Structure 1
C-alpha cells in the first residue's frame, strides 16, 4: 500500500511540476507601436501612431493561454505633421482631454502550433468598449543579447468601425473603417 501511495504522490508531483506557470513580460515601449490607417476622401491612406504606451503580457506557452493589458496615451499621436496632430487630439476627432487613453485587454490567445496567431479581447476607446480580435502576421520569442532576457512579440492587426466608438466626424467621406496595427515586443521579467 505504501508503495502505491508513494508512486501516486510522485506522479502527482511530476504532473504539478509539468504544469506551466504564466510568465510576465513588460511591454518594451521602444519596440512597441500602435498605428492607424484610414483612407482620406478615397485618395491616399492617412497613417499615424501613438508614441506613448505601456502594458504587460502574461503568457503561458505550454498551456497556450495569456493576458495582455495595453494602455495608449491618445495625446501622444504622431502623424509627422504637428498641426494635424493638434487637430486629431481635439474635440472634433479623438477628444484627448475627455478620453486621454485607450486600452486593449486580451485574454483569449489563439495558436498555430506554438506561435500566437490571434489575441481576442476588448478595445476601450473614447469611453466605449467593443470586442476585437488582433490577428498575428508574425510572432516569435528570442533571447535578447543586450538585456539577456527572453523577448516575445509580433505584428498584430484589426480593422474596426470608428463609429462604434462614437467617432463619426467626416463620415461618409472619410470611411468608417480604420485599420489598427500593433507592433509589440515584451521583455520577460
Structure 2
C-alpha cells in the first residue's frame, strides 16, 4: 500500500512540475536585409527567362520550433525592382505590370508553418500585390538555424519559393503575345534572433 502511495505521490509531483514548467514561447527574429533576397522569374517566349529582384525589403519572423507554429511578415518595396536593365525596370514599375506609383509595396503574411522534424518545410499565408490578397504557400528547399559568430546571435533562414499566376493579381501584360502567366517567386531569407 505504501508503495502505491509513493508511486502516486511521485506521479503527482511529476505532473505538477510539468504543469509549472514555463510554456515554450515563440522567438522573435528580424529579417536581415543583407542576406534576404526576393526575386522572380518569368518565361520569355519559351526562349529565355527574365529575372529581377527587389532591392528593398523588411520584415519579422516569430516561430516556436517546439510548438511547430510561427508567423512571418515580409514587406517588399516594389519601387526597388531591379532587373539590371534600366528600361526594363521602368516597364516593370509601370501600370502595365507592378504599377508602383499606385501600389509601392507588396506584403506576404504567413501564419501556418509546416515542419519536417525541427525544420520549416513550408509556410502558408497571404500575398498582397496590386491591392489583391490571395493565398500563397512558400515551400522550403532548405532551412537552417545557426549561431552567427559575428553577431553572437542565432540566425534562422532558408530558401522558399512558389509559383504565382500573375493574372490573378491583375497583371495581364503580354499574355496575348504569348508571355507566360506563371511567375516563379523565390524568397531567400535570413533572420536574426532579437
Normalising TM by the smaller chain, what interval? over 0.9
- Pick the structure with greater CA Rg: 2
Q: Are 1:162 and 2:166 counterparts?
A: yes
- Given candidates 120, 123, 129, the residue that maps to 2:127 is 123
- Inter-partner Cα distance in structure 1 for 2:37 and 2:152: 22
Q: Which runs of 5+ in 1 are unaligned?
A: none
- Aligned-pair RMSD on alpha carbons? 1.8
Scaled by the length of structure 2, the TM-score of the pair is 0.91
SS of match in other structure, 2:15: helix
Q: CA deviation at 1:17?
A: 2.5
- Inter-partner Cα distance in structure 2 for 1:57 and 1:123: 16
Deviations 1:99-158 (A, max 9, x none): 110000000000111110000000110000110110000000000001000000000000
Structure 1 runs of 4+ with >6 Å offset: 4-7
Cα 1:95–1:17 change in 2 (3 A) is: same
- Inter-partner Cα distance in structure 1 for 2:160 and 2:16: 39
Scaled by the length of structure 1, the TM-score of the pair is 0.93
Could you tell me which residue of structure 1 aligns to residue 40 of structure 2? 36
Q: Are 1:148 and 2:148 counterparts?
A: no
Q: CA deviation at 1:15?
A: 3.3
Could you tell me which residue of structure 2 aligns to residue 183 of structure 1? 188
Q: Which runs of 5+ in 2 are unaligned?
A: 1-7
Q: CA deviation at 1:16?
A: 4.5
